[in-house]
A and B are shown apart, each in its own frame.
Chain A
Amino acid sequence: MLMNAASKISEKEVEHIANLARIELTEEEKRNFTEQFNTILEYFEIINDLDTEDVPPTSHVLDVTNAFREDKVSPSLAVEEVLKNASKKERGFFKAPKII
């Protein structure tokens, strides 16, 4: 893909991405966000000035790769503690909206 060809984000794309993120937007928000995202993304693209051809990515600054521990059973939270913040629960379960 060309670096700058797709730099402008359309209202349709904002709607699509918001849907992927499971966030409903009003028409006004769609307009505002689209305008703001274009300004923000345009600025962000100054990072393209840097040549990163042979540069590896840094997702994490620590040298630690894996932190293992013994597989020992320890106490976990009681069911009522786990459920106490749920808006709906039934017979020791979280109650979620209907899926099918």
Chain B
Amino acid sequence: MGEPYLLSARETVNAVQNGDLTAEECLHSALERIKEVEQHVHAFITLREDVALKMAREIDRKVRKGKALGRLGRVCIALKDNLCTKDFPTTCGSRMLESFSPPYNATVVENLMKEGAILLGKTNMDEFAMGTSTETSYFGPTRNPWHPDHVPGGSSGGSAAAVASKEVVLALGSDTGGSVRCPASFCSVVGMKPTYGLVSRYGLIAYANSLEQIGPLSRDVYDCALLLSVIAHHDPSDSTSLTSPRQDYTSFLRKDLEGLKIGVPKEFFGEGVDERVVKPLRKNIDSLESLGASWAECSLPTLKYALPAYYLIAMSEASSNLARYDGVRYGYSQEYSSKDWNTVFSKNRRRGFGTEVRRRIILGTYALSSGYYDMYYLKALKVRTLIKADFDKAFQDFDVLVGPTMPILPFKFSEKINDPLELYMCDLLTVPQNLVGCPAISIPCGFVEGLPVGMQITAPPLREDLLFRVAYALEQHNPVEKG
């Protein structure tokens, strides 16, 4: 057995069950690794050795008393900094919440602790999860572990980079329009967005409620399925939480794809998609038949309308959600002067929010304002109906759909940040799944010019079983040579 930080979650839990490792040993190994690489990566906003050590010792104490370890026993985990935690500050990557200390834990955090995980800290992210590069964080950017001049993707860039650089075994992110899958693809790790409503959003700081889900990031498909099994279940605290029964997603992993029909939408390889990200996918698509599946080209004719529809809806919801930040109950606040209420709010929000957040709030306010509501917001909701119909139709013929996760290779810092529209375009292939609510996973697919490429698999709502089955079979059949 090598260093504990090199072990997957599955291996960690097994090693521990065999009595080979203590939680404290696992933690120390992770902390050593972090000491070595964090200065190059900057994956964390908050790292609390003391809190993690307390958790680890508590776990070891329980084990000595003969108590059950839990499904994530002694696994080191990092959390995106928009998940509320009692033990760590929760900043959302924003000056607005720089000193915010939530009085409660998100439901997913409670679930992880119940299963014996060690929580190390909170990871960097685009401010309020608005971005594709982790460059909009108030706390400075995270670097791509494979290439320090390139972005790690976003908005859960810190979570993906922490997993890719082996600082932690697992991480949670959130995915509103690709924010788990994009950094997973750019950092060559596994990341998935569950079916809308499968994972409780209680304690996830809201950006666009009708679109977002919390999702797992991991080094391999088994661990991703394991982490989802722990966080996916009904929660009365989230009124959109589904009541579907709990599942063990690791039970669906098989090495063959016997009898599956796989659709390859031509739009996933069409306009705006760089040839270079398509090439590494060929190997996986070519393997489908030898694994027992059949595949055929198909079409999602309304796909190009998904991006504008997504942004109009996300910005509109954001403008409403972020109205709560007035600096009174929590959040950034300068000294109150004798000025009127609105002036104080406007100044707090100007200084507390970064440029991209302000941009989206204002555009969202515009799309919802009198005279423009029908033209932008309502129109986008109708387009959403048409996109959903396209996916429903495709899923009549196919079990899953595959394509690239990102239309481009990881780009360089400052390459796109000054052109908001160009940055939005990066989300071309990841936003449709959020509009439609279906699950999707990104798995590592290879490297082009030293930069990672991911493959995205999309399944019908609540068919995570198919998603994991295809992802696992491809991962086992075509292991990716790292670097």
Interface residues of A (CB under 8 A from B): 1, 3, 6, 9, 13-14, 17-25, 29, 33, 36-37, 39-41, 43-50, 52, 55-62, 64, 67, 69, 77, 81-82, 84-88, 94-99
Contact = CB atoms under 8 A, between A and B. Distances in A.
A37 B363 contact: yes
A84 B341 contact: no
Contacts of B329: 85-86, 94
B421 A40 contact: yes
Contacts of A55: 382, 385-386
B104 to A, nearest CB: 7
A57 B382 contact: yes
A42 to B, nearest CB: 9
B111 interface: no
Contacts of A50: 302, 305, 382-383, 386
A57 B305 contact: no
B437 interface: yes
Given A47-B308, A87-B328, A19 B346 contact: yes
Nearest to A85: B330
A23 B362 contact: yes
B372 A6 contact: yes
A6 B366 CA distance: 12
A47 B305 contact: yes
Contacts of B99: 85
Closest 7 pairs between A and B when the two form their complex, measured CB to CB: A61-B437, A57-B381, A85-B330, A52-B382, A87-B333, A24-B350, A67-B239
B426 to A, nearest CB: 14
Interface in B305-360: 305, 308-309, 311-312, 319, 323, 326-331, 333, 336, 338-347, 349-350, 353, 355, 358-359
B1 interface: no
B436 interface: yes
Given A40-B420, A86-B330, A22 B376 contact: no
B414 interface: no
B341 A99 contact: yes
A14 B327 contact: no
B382 A56 contact: yes
B196 A22 contact: no
B347 A97 contact: no
A67 B366 CA distance: 31
Contacts of A23: 346, 349-350, 353, 358, 361-362
B346 A84 contact: no
Given A67-B240, A88-B336, A58 B388 contact: yes
B371 interface: yes
Interface residues of B, number: 74
B371 A6 contact: yes
A43 B372 contact: no
B365 A20 contact: yes
A9 B365 CA distance: 13
29 contacts: A20-B365, A21-B319, A22-B323, A22-B342, A29-B355, A33-B362, A37-B366, A39-B421, A44-B308, A47-B308, A47-B309, A47-B312, A47-B379, A48-B379, A52-B379, A52-B385, A55-B382, A55-B385, A56-B385, A59-B381, A61-B388, A62-B196, A84-B101, A85-B103, A86-B328, A87-B327, A88-B336, A96-B328, A98-B340
Interface string B370-398: 01101110111111111010000000000
A60 B210 contact: yes
A68 to B, nearest CB: 9
A17 B365 contact: yes
Contacts of B295: none
B148 interface: no
A97 B421 contact: no
Contact of A64 (B100, B240, B359, B383): B240
A30 B153 CA distance: 29
Contact of A62 (B197, B331, B371): B197
B103 A81 contact: yes
Interface in B55-103: 99-101, 103
Given A6-B371, A81-B103, 9 more contacts: A14-B362, A21-B319, A24-B349, A37-B363, A43-B308, A52-B383, A60-B240, A62-B196, A99-B340
A6 B375 CA distance: 10
B14 interface: no
Contacts of B326: 22
B270 interface: no
B236 interface: yes
B242 interface: yes
A90 to B, nearest CB: 12
Nearest to A60: B210
B369 interface: yes
A97 B348 CA distance: 12
Nearest to B363: A37
A87 B100 CA distance: 11
B304 interface: yes
A40 B333 CA distance: 31
Contact of B103 (A58, A62, A82): A82
Interface centre among A24, A46, A67 (most CB of B within 10 A): A24
